[in-house]
Chains A and B, each alone.
Chain A
C-alpha cells in the first residue's frame, strides 16, 4: 500500500513565524503536491513537484514556498505565517495521475 505521511497532525504557530510542513512518501512516486482545504473553497493546489529539485506553482502559491531535495520528501514552507493561512494542509503523491493523500496537518496561526 502507498503510504504518505505528514510530520504533524496539528500545529499552532504565531503570526510571523516560519513554518515547515513535511511530507514523505514511500512509493518512489515522481509527483508530489501540496493543497490547502478550507470550508466552502474546497481543495486548492499550492505547489507541485514532478521531480527532485523541480517545482511549479499551483493556483494559490502566494505566501508559500516548497523544497524537494529528495524524491520521497516534499516540504511546504510558510516564510512568515499569517492568520489567513490557518487551514488544513494536505500532501499527496501520484503515479500516473492517481493521487494518494496523507492524513493532513491542521495548522492554526494565532
Chain B
C-alpha cells in the first residue's frame, strides 16, 4: 500500500523567502504526483501535476520536482507572499484504479 508522508506538518517563513515543501512516498511505481493547495474550510485546488515520465513541472512561482528512485517530490514556491499561506498536500496516483494516496499536508504561514 502506498504511504505518502509530508514533513514538516507546519512551516512559518517571512515574506519573500523561498518555500521548500517535501513529499515522500514508499512505492516508486507511481503513475503521477499531484500537488494541491487547501485554504481553511475550503476544497482542494490543483496546483501541479507531474507525470511519472517527467522530472519537473512549473507554473509561475511554483516548481515541482519528482524523483521516483528516491521516492520524493518537492514543491518550491519562489518569493513567498502572505497570500501563499495555506495547507499544501501532495498525492501519488497509481494509475490502474484512478485513486490517489494523500499526504497529511504541510501548513504554511507566510509572515508579512
Number of interface residues of A (CB under 8 A): 22
Inter-subunit contact A103/B42 (CB<8 Å): yes
Which residues of chain B have C-beta atoms less than 8 A from A43's C-beta? 89, 102
Report the nearest A residue to B89, measured CB to CB.
A43
Inter-subunit contact A94/B98 (CB<8 Å): yes
Please provide the chain B residues from 4 to 60 with a CB less than 8 Å away from any CB of chain A in the complex. 31-32, 34, 36, 41-46, 49
Inter-subunit contact B46/A100 (CB<8 Å): yes
How far is the CB of A109 from the nearest CB of chain B, in Å? 18
How far is the CB of B81 from the nearest CB of chain A, in Å? 23
Which residues of chain A have C-beta atoms less than 8 A from B41's C-beta? 88, 104, 106
Could you list which residues of chain A lie within 8 angstroms of chain B, going by C-beta atoms?
A: 4, 31, 33, 42-43, 45, 48, 50, 58, 88, 90, 92, 94, 97-104, 106
Q: Can you name 8 extra interface pairs (CB under 8 A) apart from A94-B98, A97-B100, A98-B49?
A: A31-B98, A33-B99, A45-B99, A48-B98, A92-B44, A97-B31, A104-B43, A106-B41
- Top 3 A-B pairs, shortest CB-CB distance: A97-B93, A101-B44, A101-B43
